[in-house]
Amino acid sequence: MRRIVIRVGAAAVAGALLLTATACGRDEEALAREYEAGRASAPAAGKAAAPSTPAATTPAAKAAPSLAPPAATTAPEEPPPALPPIEESSGPTGAGNGSDPAAQSRLDAALLTAAEMPAGAYDGSRGDPESRERAQQPSCQAVIDLLRPGQAATAPIASAQASVTRGDPNPTGFTVVELFAFTDAGARDLFAQGRRALRGCPSITSIDADGATETDTYAEIPHAALGDESLAVGMSPGAGGALGMIVVRVGPTIVVVSNADLAAATPGLPADDLVARQIAKLRTAGG
């Protein structure tokens, strides 16, 4: 199964809520039925299974008392020991998100609030480092890193993100705002390399942390200049749907504003006033 993965703020999924449109042969209702069936057949949490009845023995078969101490047992009310956490790849090593408290405070202050975002379910929780997505064509890696700055080879020193989900109860699309602070040179290099690589990478086959591959198409979309430099990109994932992104460099900060439509065939960019609002607020906060 291959998914459109759009990173938005959510503490529950390693700080990056995975909002997906799947290209699988199994529908969500079938998965839900399997899940409920599994819950019904499983014993309640913390409840010990009923002990089996021992086989009857005759007095003649009675064994001599053992001098060995009895084996340790777990009380029925005691929950099973916790399993160790599963470690996942978090991409490149380095300073990482939030390593600069001053930069983190600036981004937190600059991030758009629910009242400043489009209508929808708002989430402004901070994310953890992303798992790295690798391009099969090494010359195209810079495109993925620019559109996903959290996984860049030189890690950001701070990040903040907010999103709104459209559609209730079934999501139809998402608007995502992400801020990534780097050193001045780090932001400039990331932007320049990504823009240059995009010209030669209209199609990129990528491999995610689970080893799954997908071929997506990318195209620059003409757009008015914003910030110190900017780039508008349309992405058509192999799994379906469409994603339009405006990437802006404001000093040492990379701003990525994304608009995802799970049913569209043509990428649509996020609203210009939303992007301008985020840039203005970032500059006011000194980011």
Domain count, the chain: 1
Domain assignment present for 198? yes
- Strand segments (E) across 21-149: 121-123, 134-135
Three-class DSSP category at 60: helix
Residue with the larger pLDDT of the pair 232 and 48: 232
Most confident of the following: 18-27, 58-67, 81-90, 223-232: 223-232
User: What is the domain range of residue 135?
Assistant: 97-284
| pTM, entire model | 0.69
pLDDT band at 37 (very low <50, low <70, confident <90, very high): low
Token duo for residue 285: 């906060």
Domain annotation covers residue 101: yes
The CA distance from 256 to 233, in Å, is: 11
Which phi and psi (to 5°) does residue 45 adopt? -60, 135
Tell me the DSSP string of 158-213.
EEEEEEEEESSSS--EEEEEEEEE--HHHHHHHHHHHHHHHTT-SEEEEE-TTS-E
pLDDT beyond 90 at 84: no
* CATH number of the domain within which 238 lies: 3.40.1000.70
